[in-house]
């Protein structure tokens, strides 16, 4: 598991996971994240104290800065669904770029605040994380490398689940388009296994360098560089093919949206507005005048 990636996503994932109490889950996010990181690194008491304080500050920044922006953006996107319209792959890519930019802003803030923790990590903790990675990689190999047919089935299930979360049940025409896309763009578990290991090694190298950082700011810069690297790929083969694949996936999404029913369009609009309301409630405010993108 890439615990740094999990850190960036976790505050939103707690909401998306559908917890019975969104407010409770979000308010307890720093403690849940601390627990996760402790499992992988076995932090000492002082590291736990510093991490807890930094995660609380990160959450406060996220609440005041990010959540209102997310809410306003989702409301803008929902507004575009008030009538039937044609979507394009470029529009999907533009929306992805908006989300990636905000994720990078979150990552930059996380890196800034976690510098004091990074400089204290030692060889024992690095070795513990390396063993965790080895276990995770064996599980990945067993699930995806040793059972390719099962991997394809689970991949389709994930795609269907992700699209249906926003659109509701897919039509037969939409499912056919999805199956055709999956057949045309097969996954390569071996390549992704190599990418996983490259990213893991980059993180382990960062932790190994921790004693060389003279200040937390130096550690923050190194961590931010690592987080930025996650927006691309460590493995050259994947890097070369992924841009084409990203465009193809945006085209699939546009095609599915362009044949969605009125019921699906209403479902998508309601989901966007529901998440926007959740974000506003968590932030304790309504959307600010700043926009991430134009509707």
> Residues 27-50, buried b or exposed e (16+ Cβ, 10 A)?
eebbeebbeebeebbebeeebeeb
Res. 75: pLDDT tops 90 = yes
- Name the DSSP class of 91: H
Question: Burial of 219 by CB count in 10 Å (0-12 exposed, 13-18 middle, 19+ buried)?
Answer: buried
Domain limits of the chain? 3-283
Q: What is the pLDDT of residue 35?
A: 87
Measured in degrees and rounded to the nearest 5, phi and psi for residue 100 equal -65, -40
pLDDT at 20: 43
Per the CB < 8 A criterion, the answer to whether 233 and 242 are in contact is: yes
Asked if residue 77 has pLDDT above 60, the reply is yes
Share of the chain above pLDDT 70, in %: 87
User: Are 39 and 51 in contact, with CB atoms under 8 Å apart?
Assistant: no
Residue count of the chain: 295
For the residues of 70-135, what is the DSSP string, one character each?
HHHHHHHHHHTTSS-----HHHHHHHHHHHHHHHHHHHHHHHHHHHHHHTT--HHHHHHHHHHHHH
Q: What is the pTM of this model?
A: 0.81
Residue 289 has pLDDT above 80, yes or no: no
pLDDT digits (tens, 9 = 90+) for 157-204: 999 999 999 999 999 999 999 999 999 998 888 888 988 999 999 999
Tell me which residue of 251, 205, 267, 295 sits closest to 93, measured CA to CA.
251
Q: Residue 93: CB partners within 8 Å, gap ≥ 6?
A: 246, 247, 250
Does pLDDT of 96 surpass 90? no
- How far apart are the C-alpha atoms of 96 and 77, rounded to whole Å? 12
Average pLDDT over residues 22-44: 84
């Amino acid at each position: 598991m890439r615990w740094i990636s999990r850190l960036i996503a976790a505050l939103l994932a707690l909401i998306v996971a559908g917890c019975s109490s969104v407010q409770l889950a979000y308010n307890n996010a720093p403690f849940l994240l601390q627990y996760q990181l402790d499992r992988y690194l076995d932090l000492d008491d002082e590291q736990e104290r510093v991490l807890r304080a930094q995660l609380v500050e990160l959450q406060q920044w996220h609440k005041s800065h990010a959540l209102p922006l997310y809410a306003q953006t989702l409301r803008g996107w929902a507004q575009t669904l008030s009538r039937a319209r044609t979507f394009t792959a470029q529009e999907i890519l533009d929306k992805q770029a908006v989300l990636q930019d905000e994720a990078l802003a979150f990552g930059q803030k996380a890196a800034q605040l976690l510098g004091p923790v990074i400089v204290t990590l030692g060889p024992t903790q690095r070795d513990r994380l390396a063993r965790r990675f080895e276990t995770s990689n064996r599980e990945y190999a067993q699930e995806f490398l040793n059972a390719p047919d099962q991997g394809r089935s689970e991949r389709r299930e994930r795609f269907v689940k992700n699209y249906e979360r926003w659109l509701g049940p897919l039509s037969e025409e939409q499912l056919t388009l999805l199956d055709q896309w999956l057949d045309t763009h097969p996954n390569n578990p071996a390549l992704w296994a190599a990418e996983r290991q490259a990213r893991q090694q980059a993180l382990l190298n960062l932790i190994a360098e921790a004693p060389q950082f003279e200040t937390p700011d130096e550690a923050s810069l190194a961590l931010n560089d690592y987080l930025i690297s996650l927006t691309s790929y460590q493995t050259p083969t994947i890097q070369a093919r992924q841009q084409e694949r990203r465009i193809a996936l945006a085209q699939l999404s546009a095609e599915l949206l362009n044949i969605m029913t009125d019921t699906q369009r209403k479902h998508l609009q309601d989901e966007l507005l529901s998440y926007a309301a959740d974000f506003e409630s968590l932030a304790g405010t309504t959307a600010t005048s700043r926009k991430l993108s134009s509707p």
